Chains A and B, each alone.
Chain A
Amino acid sequence: MNILIICLLFAGLFFFAVGVIGILRLPDFYSRLHAAGKADSIAAVLVIFAIALYNLQDFSLGNILVSIKILFIAVFIYIASPTATHAITKAALVIGVTPWVKGEGKR
């Protein structure tokens, strides 16, 4: 059980790090959004699953209730984070942020 919790935590950390490297290094707005939207949601869900498993180690009714709440947070983030990414993309398209093409510099 401990090994599973540690693996989930560090997989979540890996995806968080990938998302941060993506938004720092990629050349334009849409590719940064591509890195942030996917890596962030899966990383948050992995870390939250790890916490729910850790909380279930001493088994009682209150802990089961708290774990159900934590799983609710995971489901909510898994729905809400792609929705927020979609809204930001739509706002960028309407405002008129132009996509990066090959040969331009980083901006």
Chain B
Amino acid sequence: MVDNGILIAAIVIILLMFLSLFRVIGGPTVLDRILGGNMIGTKTTAVLLLIGVLYEDLGMFVDIAIAYALLNFIATLGATKFFLRKRNSAEILEAVLDEKAILLDGESSKEESS
């Protein structure tokens, strides 16, 4: 009974990962994409443990899940630090943000016009 429940849970979590992939593909800003990637990484940590139970080799998959959780956290922090560091350059903002007119507030557009 519990094995079937774990299998169903793993399948449903993988379907939810595909659903949150929509936000990664079509998110209006880059930060939406980072957020979707973070959510997919958290779900992957849970799915790795479920796969470990299904393959009856949990001792190996626990280590993989620990490494994946650490990597996911560090990747998110690194990506956000990148956007914090480059905040003053309008050209990089222009390259990075998809829809500039919606995202930037009045201050930065004034800088561009002057």
Contacts and interface: CB of A to CB of B under 8 A. Distances in A.
Interface of A: 2, 5-6, 9-10, 12-13, 16-17, 19-20, 23-24, 29, 32-33, 36, 40-41, 43-44, 47-48, 51, 54-55, 62, 66, 69-70, 72-73, 76-77, 80-81, 83-85, 87-88, 90-92, 94-98, 107
A55 B35 CA distance: 31
A95 B69 contact: no
Contact of B2 (A5, A16, A23): A5
Main secondary structure of the interface of B (DSSP, over half): helix
Interface of B: 1-2, 5-6, 9, 12-13, 16, 19-20, 22-23, 28-29, 31-32, 34-36, 38-39, 42-43, 45-46, 49-50, 52-53, 58-59, 62-63, 65-66, 69-70, 73, 76-77, 80-81, 83-84, 87, 93, 97, 102-105, 107-108
